[in-house]
A and B are shown apart, each in its own frame.
Chain A
Amino acid sequence: MAALTDLSLADARDGLKARKFSATELTRAHVEAMAAARPLNAFITETPERALAMAAESDKRIAAGTARPLEGLPIAIKDLFCTKGVRTTAASHILEPFVPTYESAVTQKLFDDGAVMLGKVNLDEFAMGSSNETSYFGPVENPWRRIGENRSRVPGGSSGGSAAAVSGRFALAATGTDTGGSIRQPAAFCGIVGIKPTYGRCSRWGIVAFASSLDQAGPMTRTVKDAAIMLRSMSGFDPKDSTSVDMAVPDYEKALTGNIKGLKVGIPEEYRVDGMPKEIEAIWSKGAEWLKAAGATIKPVKLPLTKYALPTYYIVAPAECSSNLARYDGVRFGLREKGDDLTGMYEGTRGAGFGREVRRRILIGTYVLSAGYYDAYYLKAQRVRALIARDFANAFKDVDVLLAPTAPSAAFARGEKTADPIAMYLNDVFTVPASLAGLPGISVPAGLSGEGLPLGLQLIGRAYDEETVLRTAGVLEQAAQFNARPATWWKQN
């Protein structure tokens, strides 16, 4: 039998059900793999004792015949979800000592369904970044490297620890959050599946807030079926989140019929940006051919405002961030630096507690919301955002789903883009538009670059139509037959 850490979430679930192994054995295998993978720096806090205690409880339930949907399945939790009694840092110095006294809605649902928590995984500080290099706890390494190279590649961000843990096979699945691409881009960089559901599907309650009109949780897994299983458990109405949608959650696994005959797939012409690597164009065309071969119709569509999505995002997100992060004042939780007076304490605490990228975004956000500039920047961005959403609505009159690349390149090297914030922001060029419109998007591994790094394809669907997105993703996955896996160089010596 394959190693327990090589199983998909679905196969592990079925194996537990068939008593081929116990939840304790499955969890122990992952706890060991997690310890061996420390060179990747994917975890901020490991919780092996808790994991084994949860697994023991799962074994009891399985024996008693009262297993829940995710019973005994070890997963990693992005350290942006508050976990009761387990430190939650958002990868920031300012939250370094923070131990929540409550559980986030999404993690509560996962644990109520029997999932086992391995620990809290690394991310960009406050989820602000596209390479996991802004974490106070150090960068995460991508398990993948170029063929014949020892140079560290970034795992993408902000859910970089989640992506590395799933790709490196030391978690069966992980939670991520996506504000402008933070689930989809790291999934693409690490060769795994990541879905950002429609805004409002998963409760934001208990997730450390970055940009509240964009933040959305979602699963990161090695297969589309696993994503469907996780998403079902994570979704659902929550009265404690004012933008949570009160709508029944479908059984997403059932949506994976493999049948897309007659489906209309749109190819957004504006995503063919200047300087796009040939390999990305090639995999995109291949993706369209795969879907066509499965019976879909391929149609070009126009999303004329695509080029304005990033500038819009870099007003809306920092504005909301500056407002959300005002709560870190050294009074109620987190770090406190002494000051001569109250203002001195605020300024000292925040100056010492936030890293460079977070400070940059707080300052931009404060500026665009300040008196005299609010209309010119923030209101303008809100208007363009409305037009971007309208673009998508128009496109979805003609097609059922959109196909595009997830990111404009494969994983880049550590340090390659840290000097220029705009170069870093451009990574999100294909993921930000759907975020602004609140639409569901998935990244599916589609192939390898010539240098041996994974490339992802993205599908974007209508609001609340995760089922079509997942079904189409399943067909892409089937056609791509992406079986490559990273060499486990971290286990050597």
Chain B
Amino acid sequence: MALDKATVTKIARLARLRVAETEKDGLAGELSNILSFIEQLDEVDTKGVEPMTSVVAVPLRRRTDEVTDGGKPEDILANAPEATAGFFTIPKVIE
């Protein structure tokens, strides 16, 4: 399936990824090529095949729902681009 510029704009928005207008045509072409490559899979008959969701043939482990770590606000905030008074800060969302 060929992707057009409008679809590139839409998925870039979904991915919260700014893409320059000038790049969109080129990207639409590249992504369309990749899609036609992966669409080879349509040739494979997968009727009745369960999707593989786990590589490890064991059920996911469970653990008791209890606190195992924490109490490290300085560590958590150490890499924040902006932090104030023990909180991450972001641009204003409510006027």
CA distance A352 to B46 in the complex (A): 40
CA distance A99 to B46 in the complex (A): 45
- Complex contact A363–B31 (CB within 8 A): yes
With A99-B78, A382-B53, A383-B46 known to touch, is A346 a contact of B40 (CB < 8 Å)?
no
With A101-B75, A329-B16, A362-B17 known to touch, is A387 a contact of B38 (CB < 8 Å)?
no
Chain A 314-329, CB within 8 Å of chain B: the 1/0 string?
Answer: 1100000010001001
The minimal Cβ–Cβ distance linking A88 to chain B, given in whole angstroms, is: 10
B44 at the interface (CB under 8 A from A): yes
Of A214, A311, A343, most buried by chain B (CB within 10 Å of CB) is: A311
**Stretch of A139-147, A253-261, A331-339 lying at the B interface:** A331-339
- Complex contact A383–B15 (CB within 8 A): no
Chain B 43-73, CB within 8 Å of chain A: the 1/0 string?
Answer: 1101001111111111011010000000010
The contact of B80 among A242, A331, A379, A382, by CB within 8 Å, is A331
CA distance A360 to B38 in the complex (A): 14
B85 at the interface (CB under 8 A from A): no
The minimal Cβ–Cβ distance linking A152 to chain B, given in whole angstroms, is: 25
Nearest residue (CB) in A for B69 is A240
Nearest residue (CB) in B for A84 is B75
- Complex contact A370–B11 (CB within 8 A): yes
Chain A 385-421, CB within 8 Å of chain B: the 1/0 string?
Answer: 1110100000000000000000000000000000001
With A242-B61, A350-B18 known to touch, is A315 a contact of B41 (CB < 8 Å)?
yes
Chain B residue numbers with a CB within 8 Å of A332 are 76, 79-80, 88
- Complex contact A386–B52 (CB within 8 A): yes
- Complex contact B44–A387 (CB within 8 A): yes
B12 at the interface (CB under 8 A from A): yes
Contact count band on A: 35 or more
With A314-B37, A347-B16, A360-B31 known to touch, is A97 a contact of B79 (CB < 8 Å)?
yes
CA distance A311 to B18 in the complex (A): 27
- Complex contact A382–B41 (CB within 8 A): no
CA distance A464 to B41 in the complex (A): 29
- Complex contact B80–A333 (CB within 8 A): yes
Chain B residue numbers with a CB within 8 Å of A425 are 37
CA distance A331 to B76 in the complex (A): 12
A359 at the interface (CB under 8 A from B): yes
Of B13, B61, B81, most buried by chain A (CB within 10 Å of CB) is: B81
Instruction: Give chain B's interface secondary structure class.
Output: loop
- Complex contact B16–A438 (CB within 8 A): no
A41 at the interface (CB under 8 A from B): no
- Complex contact B33–A422 (CB within 8 A): yes
- Complex contact A101–B53 (CB within 8 A): no
Nearest residue (CB) in A for B40 is A311
- What number of B residues sit within 8 Å (CB to CB) of A? 53
- Complex contact A385–B52 (CB within 8 A): yes
Chain A 342-354, CB within 8 Å of chain B: the 1/0 string?
Answer: 1111111011101
Chain A 370-387, CB within 8 Å of chain B: the 1/0 string?
Answer: 100000010111111111
- Complex contact A386–B58 (CB within 8 A): no
CA distance A231 to B50 in the complex (A): 33
Chain B residue numbers with a CB within 8 Å of A102 are 75
The minimal Cβ–Cβ distance linking B71 to chain A, given in whole angstroms, is: 13
CA distance A362 to B54 in the complex (A): 22
Within 8 A of B (CB), among A231-268: 239, 242-243, 245-246
The minimal Cβ–Cβ distance linking A434 to chain B, given in whole angstroms, is: 11
- Complex contact B56–A199 (CB within 8 A): yes
- Complex contact A379–B38 (CB within 8 A): no
CA distance A371 to B67 in the complex (A): 36
CA distance A199 to B54 in the complex (A): 10
- Complex contact A239–B63 (CB within 8 A): yes
CA distance A352 to B16 in the complex (A): 12
- Complex contact A438–B44 (CB within 8 A): no
With A348-B18, A382-B53, A387-B44 known to touch, is A331 a contact of B90 (CB < 8 Å)?
yes
A175 at the interface (CB under 8 A from B): no
With A345-B90, A350-B18, A362-B15 known to touch, is A383 a contact of B79 (CB < 8 Å)?
no
- Complex contact B81–A101 (CB within 8 A): no
The minimal Cβ–Cβ distance linking B76 to chain A, given in whole angstroms, is: 8
Within 8 A of A (CB), among B1-16: 3, 7-8, 11-16
B91 at the interface (CB under 8 A from A): yes
Of B33, B34, B63, B75, most buried by chain A (CB within 10 Å of CB) is: B34
CA distance A243 to B8 in the complex (A): 34
The contact of B27 among A100, A311, A363, by CB within 8 Å, is A363
Chain B residue numbers with a CB within 8 Å of A326 are 16
CA distance A387 to B49 in the complex (A): 8
The contact of A350 among B17, B46, B58, by CB within 8 Å, is B17
Known: A311-B38, A362-B17, A368-B38. 5 other contacts (CB 8 A): A332-B79, A343-B16, A345-B91, A350-B17, A421-B30
A-B pairs, 5 with minimum CB distance: A351-B18, A382-B51, A336-B81, A333-B79, A438-B55
20 pairs from A and B in contact (CB 8 Å cutoff): A101-B78, A102-B75, A213-B55, A243-B54, A308-B40, A308-B41, A310-B37, A332-B79, A334-B81, A341-B91, A351-B17, A364-B31, A366-B11, A367-B7, A380-B41, A382-B51, A383-B49, A387-B49, A421-B30, A438-B55
